């Protein structure tokens, strides 16, 4: 009898905690933030990158069947890393690491878009992070801008003979910062109304600075450390996706 009461008390305690009011901060661009026209526009921007990414996945998986497993592992990493929210009270939202810079240098920017899309969809469906109508905008900022900017920084750093850790650090850093610059732009373009898009962009971007600047540095070190670890332990996994380009 005592055990039953203890279980009942435990269940009631859990329910009470769940029902207690508290402040919540959304991640990514939340559902309903963007007007329908802008939401549709960002889906159109994201669509060709998704098509190219799926085509690249099919070709590369045909050459190396284990590649899909690597993509899945990297996608799981992006999902976990981008689920680490840090509240930004001045913006009413959250900052968080992205992981797309590291994903891009491991599996290529096209695949970074694919795994980011899956991660964002799962977060919108099951964690209420982001939204379905704003999925296109979130894919563009985190997957397209973050992935391609990080990958481009990595290639450029290597072409000027920067060490591997430095190139990976820049990929993580600039991917993170680029993601939040793109998010700030998509929000300001959609919400400025008759006001100045540039002024609203500066305001939104400034709200993210206190958290996102150090988070970008953290993500740079994370990318450098992870890339160095994989290069040391499993270098065969680091086939660069840019065909014909050699490190």
Lowest-confidence pick of 118-122, 201-205, 224-228: 201-205
Write out the H or E segment, with its range, that includes residue 178.
helix 164-191
CATH topology of domain 28-232: Arp2/3 complex 21 kDa subunit ARPC3 (1.10.1760)
Instruction: Enumerate the domain spans of the chain.
Output: 28-232
Distance (Å, whole) CA 161 – CA 153: 12
Query: What number of CA atoms fall less than 13 Å from residue 240's CA on the CB side?
Result: 14
Task: With H, G, I as helix, E, B as strand and everything else as coil, classify residue 3.
Answer: helix
Q: Is 4's pLDDT higher than 60?
A: no
Task: With H, G, I as helix, E, B as strand and everything else as coil, classify residue 140.
Answer: helix
Q: Is 11's pLDDT higher than 60?
A: no
Is-above-0.85 flag for pTM?
A: no
Range 106-113 average pLDDT: 94
Q: What is the pLDDT of residues 59-81, one digit of tens each?
A: 988 888 888 889 999 999 999 88
- Looking at the chain, the whole-number percentage of residues with pLDDT higher than 90 is 51
């Amino acid at each position: 009898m005592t055990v039953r009461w203890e279980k009942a008390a435990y269940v009631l305690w859990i329910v009470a905690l769940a029902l207690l009011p508290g402040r919540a901060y959304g991640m990514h661009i939340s559902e309903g933030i963007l007007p329908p026209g802008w939401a549709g526009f960002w889906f159109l921007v994201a669509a060709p990158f998704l098509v190219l990414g799926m085509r690249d996945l099919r070709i590369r998986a045909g050459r190396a069947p284990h590649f899909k497993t690597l993509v899945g592992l990297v996608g799981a990493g992006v999902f976990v890393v981008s689920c680490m929210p840090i509240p930004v009270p001045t913006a009413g939202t959250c900052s968080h690491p992205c992981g797309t810079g590291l994903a891009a240098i491991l599996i290529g920017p096209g695949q970074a878009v694919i795994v980011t899309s899956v991660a964002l969809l799962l977060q919108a469906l099951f964690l209420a992070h982001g939204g379905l109508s704003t999925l296109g905008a979130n894919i563009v900022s985190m997957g397209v801008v973050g992935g391609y900017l990080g990958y481009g920084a990595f290639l450029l750093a290597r072409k000027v003979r920067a060490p591997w850790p430095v190139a990976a650090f820049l990929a993580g850093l600039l991917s993170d910062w680029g993601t939040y610059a793109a998010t700030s732009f998509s929000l300001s373009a959609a919400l400025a109304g008759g006001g100045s898009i540039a002024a609203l962009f500066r305001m939104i971007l400034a709200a993210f600075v206190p958290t996102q600047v150090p988070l970008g540095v953290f993500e740079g070190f994370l990318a450098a450390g992870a890339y160095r670890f994989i290069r040391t332990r499993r270098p065969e996994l680091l086939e660069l996706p840019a065909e014909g380009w050699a490190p």
